Amino acid sequence: MAYDPVARHKVIEKKVVRGELRKYYRFRTDKWYGGIATGDCVGCGLLCKFCWVRDPILFSPKKEGYFYNPDEVARKLLSKARKKAIKQLRLSGGEPSIGRSHLLRLLDNLHWKGYLFILETNGILIGSDKSYARDLAAFPFLHVRVSIKGCDKDEFAMLTNSKPEGFELQLRALEYLFNAGVSCNPAVMTAFSSPKKLERLRRRIFAMMPSLMEEFEEEELILYPHVLDRLNRFNLSYRTAFQPGSVPPETV
């Protein structure tokens, strides 16, 4: 049965947040964005059929990972970045907008340190509460990448098993962030959509926020073995995808 995406995020929040403590399952440096120190959060309120998070972390958030306070996360990210001499930090996941006070405190901690901070989010919580975007606007070193699932509400529902209304929350997140002055961009998973639907979405975003068109990103499906397993389990076919070793360098 389809679930309410906001309600499900709140349920997951109870499992992965304790006050200002938030669960993570790893910290790493990665090649994306030209090199970035990354914290991967446990727990997401969506259940995407193409998700790259491994099953135990996605389905058993209570059991997996460890709780960290914002100071510990800041120290870990900075230490990873300094070791590789990189100037970008990121939270990914899982869904890093779960645990708002943890996230805001972490951003407070990293203010004025000279790094670009990228928040990768599905946009559901930000799109359901305008004040979240206003809070994020206090951090000029922040960029929010809103990862949009599907090109319309039917595709969103098919890809996530969620109620279709969730699709609009993703676009609303972009709108709220944009209007609050937060640097942001749409990243659209295109592997399951026709070019026609993608173009329709692109035009819709362009009509709402013309200056974001330069930033419109097409997200690639990468066939890691556990992603392929999941796609097969859901009998989900894709239009385009890359093998892990053959992602074009210009998309990294």
46 binds ligand SF4 (CB under 6 A): yes
- The residue to which tokens 């446990």 are assigned: 42
Quick check: 29 and 35 in contact, CB under 8 A? Answer: yes
Under DSSP, the state recorded for 17 is E
Among 53, 57, 89, 157, binds ligand SF4 (CB under 6 A): 53
**Ordered DSSP codes for 38-75:** EEEES--S---TT--S-HHHHH-TTTSSEEE-HHHHHH
44 binds ligand SF4 (CB under 6 A): yes
Site string for ligand SF4, 104-123 (x = CB under 6 A): ------------------x-
96 binds ligand SF4 (CB under 6 A): no
Site string for ligand SF4, 128-167 (x = CB under 6 A): ----------------------------------------
Phi first, then psi: give them for residue 45, nearest 5 degrees.
Answer: -90, 0
CA 221 to chain centre: 14
For residues 65-94, which are near ligand SF4 according to CB under 6 A?
A: 93-94
Q: Give min distance, CB of 210 to ligand SF4, in A.
A: 27
Q: Which is nearer to ligand SF4, 76 or 149 (CB)?
A: 149
Provide the phi-psi class of 33: left if phi over 0, else alpha when psi is between -120 and 50, else beta.
left
Contact residues toward ligand SF4 (CB under 6 A) are: 44, 46-48, 51, 53, 93-95, 122
